[in-house]
Structure 1
Amino acid sequence: MGIDMKLTVEKGRPESDEGRSRKEIVVYDYLDKLGIPYERADHAEAHTMEDCEEVSSALGAKVCKNLFLTNSKHSFYYLLMMPGNKPFKTAELSREIGCGHLSFAEAEEMERVLGCTPGSASVFGLMHDKEGLVELLVDRDLLKDEYLGAHPCHNIATLKVKTKDIFTKFIKATKHYKTEVTLRGQS
């Protein structure tokens, strides 16, 4: 299906904060403070990777799948960034990172730790993880692209950012690091 609307791509933040969520504005402020350039596509709420296909095409950048996972005690979290077309297999990732049991974190946990709601999780949420509760896991296939697409903590916009800016400037500023994983995504 995808998002049924004409998309335009703009450079940088919106001209006005009116009608924008505080979550979204905080991301623009953070990126601007770090001097990280970005392009933006505004759109209807995108809840699935299928919804993001049109956005990805308009931006000329792959919108990555972001999964917020937790250990069995819900005491530590993982944000997994992976290609949108690759299927996710919990057991495969658990083996790769040596974690016995992984599950999806609850919506309340995502809001508390990343400042995002389901459908809007992205690497930008790491700026809210002041306690260092989240480990960033990145499928190596994402690192091959010059640009990535991600929501600014609200799924009514998607930002196109240079991959190297995300994994150097942004990650460093949030005091996180990336752990690279290789997910086969096959049966």
Structure 2
Amino acid sequence: MQIYEGRPAAAGNRMEKEMRVYELLDELGISYVRADHEAVMTIEACREVDEALQIEICKNLFLCNRQKTAYYLLVMPGGKNLQTKELSPQIPSSRLSFASGEDMEKYLNVTPGSATIMGLIFDPENKVQLLIDEEVLEEEYFSCHPCINTSSIKLRTEDVLGKFLQAVHHDYIKVRLSR
């Protein structure tokens, strides 16, 4: 697997939403490296990408409350498993479950297997609340998909939390999930 500095040289067969991520990162002066790969649908499938980027790719879960009136994007280390009873009192919202693929597309413009913090570009009305596990916040680097699961990017966590979230007008709630 080859690592590239920045965006692809040409848009070619890249999806518009992926190119929009690169455009925004470039506009914000955020440097990143990129790996292109076969589609990965699970954290387990990301192991080779992790090795190439020398980082653990974050697990991104798209959740909602039972009434489907509140949506959450949870970013956590890939090695952790979600216990909703542990998360619910921290946000606070009861009866969390996975949101539908249709809602993921509607609010973040991504499909199942491609959930990413970069999808917040497509949530100008702030319908999705970002939740980030404290362990992710402690890392120097952050890795995610650019709205498509055939590429992964690695960038500085401080750039994501500062420049990127400010540009997309989102903030986050820090949560603590056990291993």
Cα deviation, residue 34, structure 1: 1.0
Match of 1:3 in 2: none
SS in 1 for 2:111: coil
Match of 1:59 in 2: 53
Counterpart selection for 1:152 from 114, 131, 146:
146
Q: How does 1:4-153 map to 2 (within 5 A)?
A: 7-153=1-147
The TM-score normalised by the length of structure 2 is 0.97
Moved over 2 A (4+): none
SS in 2 for 1:179: strand
User: For the residues of structure 2 that align with 1:40 and 1:115, how far apart are their CA atoms?
Assistant: 20
Match of 2:169 in 1: 175
Cα deviation, residue 96, structure 1: 2.0
The TM-score normalised by the length of structure 1 is 0.93
Cα deviation, residue 92, structure 1: 1.0
What is the letter of the counterpart of residue 116 of structure 2?
A: S
Cα deviation, residue 98, structure 1: 1.9
- Provide the aligned C-alpha RMSD in A: 0.8
8 Å contact kept, 1:62–1:147 = no
User: For the residues of structure 2 that align with 1:112 and 1:98, how far apart are their CA atoms?
Assistant: 23
Provide structure 1 residue ranges, at least 5 long, that are not aligned to the other structure: 1-6
Provide structure 2 residue ranges, at least 5 long, that are not aligned to the other structure: none
User: For the residues of structure 2 that align with 1:73 and 1:144, how far apart are their CA atoms?
Assistant: 33
